[in-house]
Amino acid sequence: MSWKNLLKWGFFAALLLLGARYLWVHSEDFSKMVEIRPVFLPFLLLTPVFFIGLLGILNKSLVEAFGIRLTFLEWFGLQCITNFGNYLLPLRGGAGTRAAYLKVKHNFPISSFLSTMGATYLINTFLAGAIASVCIVWIGDRVEHWGMTLTLLLGASFGLLLLMIFPFPFRFPDRGFFQ
């Protein structure tokens, strides 16, 4: 058996042992899972898959802007590995595995990867803000005190999100300060 195969199986065994340890330490949490009504199980199981798919499509679209076309197995599998790495490794280590894969397989520069990663975080932040804004407005109808500052802040965030989704062409003037 070669060192490479031995290393693969050793890593797999270590992951299995860590998973078993997690199940043992948190067994009381898993006993609470019996209390979940079966009607909600498909929703609970399919929601993470849906979000992994959305993030995979987002990353696929961003990488296509640089001329790299990913197959379904690549963009979906890469997002699954990225999410898994983010849970296991510190400091968003899953992004590092995605960068390494794109660098080795498609010769994608790290600087371009960092720009796609920044765009992903920006889009995710604004989408989370928009969803939170809708939830706060929905809850705000039931709350007596509603601040004008919060309303303006959420409105500005939502406006920026719309500008990101539907950008308008902007051209600097030919003369003046921007020349």
Is the pTM above the cut of 0.75?
Answer: no
State which amino acid sits at residue 32.
K
Q: Is residue 39 part of a domain?
A: no
Number of domains comprising the chain: 1
Instruction: Provide the pLDDT for residue 11.
Output: 87
Residue 60 inside a domain? The answer is: no
53-71 burial, b at 16+ Cβ within 10 Å, e below that, comes to: eebbebbbebbeeeebebe
Rounded to an integer, the average pLDDT of 62-72 is 91
- 15 assigned to some structural domain: yes
> What is the reported pLDDT for 72?
93
> What's the pLDDT score for residue 141?
61
Q: Mean pLDDT, to the nearest integer, of 150-156?
A: 75
Task: Report yes or no on 1 lying in a domain.
Answer: yes
Q: CA 97, CA 147: separation in Å to the nearest integer? A: 43
Residue 171 has pLDDT above 70, yes or no: no
Please check whether residue 157 lies inside any domain of the structure: no
Range of the structural domain that residue 7 is part of? 1-33
Helix (H, G, I), strand (E, B) or coil at 47: helix
Res. 3 pLDDT band, cuts 50 70 90: confident
The answer to the question of residue 105 being in a domain is no
Asked if residue 162 belongs to a domain, the reply is no
Per-residue pLDDT at 174:
62
71 pLDDT higher than 60: yes
SS in 3 state form for 49-76? HHHHHHHHHHHHHHHHCCCCCCCHHHHH
